[in-house]
Amino acid sequence: MKNHRSDILFLVAVVLTLWIAWTVRDVLLLIYVSALFAVVLSPVVALVRKINIRGWHPGRGFAIVFLMLMLVLAATVFIVFALPPIYGEARQFAADWPRHLVAASDELHHLPLGVKIDPNGLEKYAAEIVGGAGGLFLNLAGGIFGLFTGIILMAYFIIDGENAFRWSISLFPANQQQRLASTLMRAQNRMRKWLVGQMVLMASFGACSLVVYYALGLKYFYVLAMYAGIANIVPIAGPISAVLIACTVALLDSPHKLLGVLVFYAVYAQFESGFLSPRIMRSTLKLSPIAVIIALALGGSLAGVLGALVSVPTAALVLVFADEYLVKRKQAGAAAAAAD
């Protein structure tokens, strides 16, 4: 009876903990994202501390304050200079896209299956979809407070991250602490490398798209370039969707612009797959495309944009733990059985 009572109490405690965690999931997600970026930026602090100015080396506090100021400055520059044209083009895109789509559907009526297309329905769905995209920009613009809160939390994680790490490890049995710490450190290195590499690839794709779209005189080039950079986090499907949207916008304007977009993507795909990816991502944790897509779908469904942002690094973390505690355990068991 005593054992059953303790089991019931333990189950109730677990359920209550999960309910509380779900209730405050937005706060926990912000803390998790801040910790994740603290892991990525910690080496930057060490790099700043290596600066030598006539024998003077910056202290840890100075390096962290300098890094935070640079992040705040970058966020401010983006909000002041980049966000207004992006938001303006997003609103224009939301206003024009349903009309363009209906015009394109009228042309499709000449095809055998074109008679089945309902222009009114297309206009309605297009307005809803793009209106949601415009709402996303409003949410981003209204999330400035959350951004600066995350920066402050990230600073605290960089300052006191080692103590927090040791305290977390101390909660586990003593005979498992060393193995757990080693696994977490390996996961940290892999996640950091993946995040940095993926951010470089996304920034490269977005920047190249911005330059080419601007040179071609493509409408909504801010929005299209930003989408191309963000979509590049999804293997295969992301770049293809960026190609399709950009080609559709170009086709509605000029066949020559469509040809320019196709040539750009053909050249860039070869450049990224043959030069960038092998050098940037060679030492990162390998995740299959299906694992990335599933992780993004689950993260986006559970926690929206932030959930999608941290979903793939979290999948990398889970994969490292699975390798350490499942794969190696089976290999050790198989080796022991063979020895017997």
Please give the Cα distance from 7 to 35 (Å, whole number).
33
Q: Can you give the residue ranges of every domain in the chain?
A: 179-333
Token readout for 184 is 């977490």
The pLDDT assigned to 45 comes to 83
Predicted confidence at residue 132, as pLDDT, reads 46
Kindly calculate the radius of gyration of the chain based on its CA atoms and give it in whole angstroms.
Answer: 25
**According to the model, what pLDDT value does residue 157 have?**
85
pLDDT on residue 133: 43
Q: How far is CA 200 from CA 35, 195, 233, in A?
A: 20, 9, 11
Instruction: Indicate the pTM of the whole model.
Output: 0.68
Angle between helices 237-253 and 83-108 (to 10 degrees): 70
d(CA 175, CA 22): 31
Mutual angle of helices 83-108 and 119-142, in 10-degree steps: 170
C-alpha 287/C-alpha 235 separation (Å) is 10
- Note the pLDDT of residue 260: 93
DSSP at 171: T
What pLDDT shows up at residue 97? 65
Contact 189, 181 (CB under 8 A): no
Backbone angles phi, psi at 236, to 5 degrees: 65, -65
**Distant-in-sequence, close-in-space partners of 258: CB < 8 Å, separation ≥ 6:** 247, 250, 251
Cβ contact 223:88 at 8 Å: no
The pLDDT of residue 136 is 45
Q: Which pLDDT score is estimated for 315?
A: 83
The predicted pLDDT at position 114 comes to 47
Please list the ranges in the chain whose pLDDT falls under 50: 113-115, 117, 122-123, 125-138, 140-142
